Amino acid sequence: MPLRTAEQRYPRRDPDTDHAARVPQAVARIAGIRPPFGRTLRQDGEVRVRDLFFLGLWLGSPLVGLGMTGCGTPVQSAPRPVVAPAIEGTSIQPQSSEPSAALPGPARSATGSNTAEPSPPPRGQSSWPTLVERLPWVNPARCLKHCAMDPGETEALMTVNAKGEDDVRGRLRIRKEIVEPLRALLQAAQAAGHALRIESAYRSYKDQERLFATIKEAGRAARPGHSEHQLGTTVDLRLPTGAAIAWLAEHAAEHGFALSYPSGKQRITGYRPEPWHIRFVGRELAKALVERGLTLEEAFRDTPELGESGSCTDCPSPASQAPCGAISDAGECRGSVLTWCYDGALASVDCATSGETCGAERPGGVAACRTVPRAAAPPDRAASAAP
């Protein structure tokens, strides 16, 4: 075979027309296609549509990778899946907290099939106000994240008197961040004709342990490690009249305080009603609770990511834990005292302290504090030894 010259081997190509044939010819050579598909795919500077069509058939899809369809319609890329946007502006991170039985579980399909409808997002998660950090979640079954936490060991607490004024000789301590909101609340009450005073504020773990051992009334004091008073953001107020009780219930949220233990919620909170017991949670969250008619405990159960708890295993005193024993979730009545298993921990309240009686709607039913007709309202109670 005679040798070909460089010009014959590499003929000069027209850059304005020849690029149209390079791609299909290269594909044909790589694929090892023989004539007629592998021969010249250019005629008068244009690609033969017939050749491209047959080339596409051989490759398995007409005009693969050429950005065209058989009718000249541009190839549409596959649509991207729609991803639900993340909730913005929140620092709350999921965290498992004991006891798990208290948390609502995800819905499951009856058949267990993977084709079941997706479970809805956690109830209320996107509608609660944004929190800078998770709030301590305590109740008869839940302890503080650090059971014996003591903000008094730091400079987080300051000393005040019963009017909420700075007083180094005062007997009350509260966290610095609630000083101004608490003063504003007391001043607003004074302007409305109600002389409210602080009766109790921060308690250490040891203080709560001594109080729990001293108080004999069922459900009158929380177990050590389970009390909101250990936070330094909770106070008991002395309410001189029924009008003052009503005023506080109506206006506490305006200053960022929530009533932790309102009436009729014993089964939910685990404690007797205490209209004097308020906890600072911030104005937005406090107002949201009032608007929805919920306690902070119900908000935590609605959206567990709002709160955080400990396991109670680090509590120094055995009094911090109370197994249910033979008591069931349905509970039982012993006179006016209601005792039941509250999420795995024993809880008791004396229904008589709120003018109620303990009973069940039917034999063997769920025991609860139930309202009974009475001739007169019970006398106003000042705060003392609250949870």
Beta strands in the chain (DSSP E): 42-43, 46-47, 135-136, 157-160, 172-175, 197-200, 234-238, 257-261, 274-280, 307-308, 332-334, 337-342, 345-350, 356-360, 367-371
What secondary structure letter does DSSP report for 42?
A: E
Choose the catalytic residue: 209, 228, 274, 308: 274
> Do residues 233 and 198 lie in contact, with contact meaning Cβ atoms separated by under 8 Å?
no
Question: Exposed, middle or buried by CB within 10 Å (0-12, 13-18, 19+), for 122?
Answer: middle
DSSP letter at 315? Answer: -
Is 274 among the catalytic positions? yes
**Measuring CA to CA, which residue among 258, 146, 261, 257 is closest to residue 204?**
146
Residues linked to residue 338 through DSSP beta bridges, in sequence order:
333, 349
Helix (H) or strand (E) holding 27: helix 19-31
User: Which residues are part of the catalytic machinery?
Assistant: 274
